[in-house]
A and B are shown apart, each in its own frame.
Chain A
Amino acid sequence: MADHESSYQPSTGFEKWFDDRLPIIRFSKEHLMDYPTPKNLNYWWTFGGILAMMLGIQIVTGIVLAMHYTPQANLAFDSVELIKRDVAGGRLIQAVHSTGASMFFFAVYIHIFRGLYFGSYKAPREVLWMLGVLILLLMMATAFFGYVLPWGQMSYWAATVITNIFAAIPVIGDPLLQLLRGGFAVDNPTLNRFFSLHYLLPFIIAAVVALHIWALHVPGNNNPIGVDVKSSRDTVAFHPYFTMKDGFAMVVFLIPYAWLVFFAPDILNHSDNYIMANPLVTPPEIVPEWYFLPFYAILRSIDFPLWFIDSKLLGVIFFGASILILFFVPWLDRSKVRSGTFRPLFKPFYWLFVLNFLMLMYLGTQSPSIWWVPALGKIGVAYYFIYFLIILPLLPRFEVTRPLPASISESVLRPART
């Protein structure tokens, strides 16, 4: 990798003077331009850059929206309508932000599933992966707080149902619920604090993203064959090769995003959210945003008690565990081979896991009073956990992996048949 190490040569006296005092240009050149990147990265790897772009878009549009939004229970709903109708260009800015949340989650799910397939969480990238899971948790909290702000019926009842989850905790549940809501029901104090946190969390996410990239740049990128970089022949400089590839992917990603913003800004929203919040009327059915549906389905599928744990608390435990289990994936997967490409037994289980995730997503939209919804839901929850707790740890005992290429450059010159 030595070929790629700092090529920065301060050319003028001022640059040299500045570099001795704050080597930020050197740092940027090393990490944003010369950074040695495996040359076989495919398009699944462009979603990291896309996610950075999405965080930027959400922060910029969010700051602008906050200039027009009023976080007060009697005014919030109208202020969002005002943004859409009266503020110059407000309709687009609001649509970019609300649709942006969906695009952000779409990209993050692809990013996570890419990591799960290519074993990007395995040593020495455990901390990188765990920071990523932390970012996912922060994103979920931010998206939830943001969804409450328009103060429509779905906003209000989502806030009610989600804060109610904490009431399932024994003993401290009820005081904790009042502490979170700032009242006996979701009301103006709840809206105020959610707005404050919705403004704060993206900057925390940005800080954790910086750590995530730092943790990436220590071991370097994983790659589609999962074989470590062995010489400078295996890598190319990040700029211009991957700035171009990421840039192209961003443009492609922006096409459906722009289509949604311009032609269907409301298609991902629930019609009930165009009715102002009413604490005395519950909508006929409460459905979360699509990106929470798999986890919502897990929460709802647990409708039975276990030992001394009642069904409500048990559902909450499974709901929390379904995300927290991701923190342990680096140690649950015992396979020495990183990339799923060379693991013939892993592949069908992996794709079943993807299908199972999509099935849970679908079940989250369906009414649980239909008999097969909770039944299929239980199968989905079972497989979700079996994949992490049984298949990943035990599969390597039975699996004969395919031979790995000697190096990245060899695999590029003579592609392995998959």
Chain B
Amino acid sequence: MATEAETHPAPHGTRRDFLYVAAGAVATVGGAAAVWPLINQLNPDASVLALASVDFDLGSLTEGQAVTIKWRGQPVFVMYRTQKQIDEAKAVQVSELRDPQSDEERTKPGHEKYLVQIGICTHLGCIPNGPGEGDFGGWFCPCHGSQYDTAGRIRKGPAPKNLVIPPYKFTSDTKITIG
């Protein structure tokens, strides 16, 4: 099969080279497109996503009380803070914090007594004990000793970040929707 390309080599590759590259490119794109659903199926499915928001009535809480509710399979700490706890959180110099955030940034305006945060240590995902634990009267993670204050901010230990505030909004004075 002495092709034209072999007898008269073109200066910048032959038609056959072009066909090889074109066929290879199409096969690669096609292969990737076929693999994508096999990867994508690993993502959270519709039944998991359907649980992505949850309502909670804060009216049932009394001052100083904290409860843990479940949202997306994760614990959420909801806490009705005492005035003393709020004052403690506000008295902290924000610039000295590892993950600087003021108390106002961690609560909703007008609802500062309520603290809502995901109860998962930002170090390796354990659930901290609290409130009222550790040196700062907040949460203490038993796994590797991270300590959070009464606004859930990291104060001591290996965790890099404050406890995460989930997306939530007040639907009335005492009701919130998380997610």
Give A contacts to B, CB under 8 Å.
157, 160-161, 164-165, 178-187, 189, 193, 279-282, 284-286, 300, 303, 310-312, 368-369
Contacts and interface: CB of A to CB of B under 8 A. Distances in A.
Contact of A368 (B39, B145, B160): B145
A280 B44 contact: no
B160 A280 contact: no
Contacts of A279: 70, 73-75
B43 A178 contact: yes
B73 A184 contact: yes
B149 to A, nearest CB: 19
Given A157-B126, A189-B45, A183 B142 contact: no
A282 B142 contact: yes
B160 A312 contact: yes
Contact of B127 (A164, A193, A280): A280
B163 to A, nearest CB: 14
B45 A182 contact: yes
A184 B72 contact: yes
A164 B144 contact: no
Contact of B68 (A165, A187, A280): A280
B160 A183 contact: no
Contact of B144 (A178, A179, A180, A369): A369
Contacts of A157: 125-126
A183 B44 contact: yes
Q: Which 9 A-B pairs have the closest CB atoms?
A: A184-B72, A185-B73, A282-B126, A282-B127, A164-B125, A369-B145, A183-B48, A160-B125, A161-B124
A311 B43 contact: no
Nearest to A164: B125
Nearest to A280: B75
Interface residues of B, number: 24
A69 to B, nearest CB: 22
Given A185-B72, A311-B158, A281 B127 contact: yes
Contacts of B94: none
A285 B127 contact: no
Nearest to B74: A185
Contact of B73 (A180, A183, A193, A303): A183
A139 B112 CA distance: 51
Contacts of B39: 179
B108 interface: no
Contacts of B45: 182, 189
Contacts of B91: none
Interface string B43-54: 111001000100
Interface in B127-177: 127, 142-145, 158, 160
B43 A179 contact: yes
A299 to B, nearest CB: 9
A179 B42 contact: yes
A164 B74 CA distance: 14
A182 B44 contact: yes
Contacts of B73: 183-187, 279
A345 B75 CA distance: 55
Contacts of A160: 124-126
Contacts of A285: 142-143
B68 A282 contact: no
B126 A286 contact: yes
B41 to A, nearest CB: 9
Contacts of B44: 178, 181-184, 189
28 contacts: A157-B125, A157-B126, A160-B124, A161-B125, A164-B124, A164-B125, A178-B43, A178-B44, A179-B43, A180-B42, A181-B44, A182-B42, A182-B44, A182-B48, A184-B44, A184-B48, A184-B52, A184-B72, A185-B72, A187-B73, A189-B45, A189-B48, A280-B75, A282-B126, A300-B144, A312-B158, A312-B160, A368-B158
A187 B68 CA distance: 18
B123 interface: yes
Contact of A184 (B74, B127, B143): B74
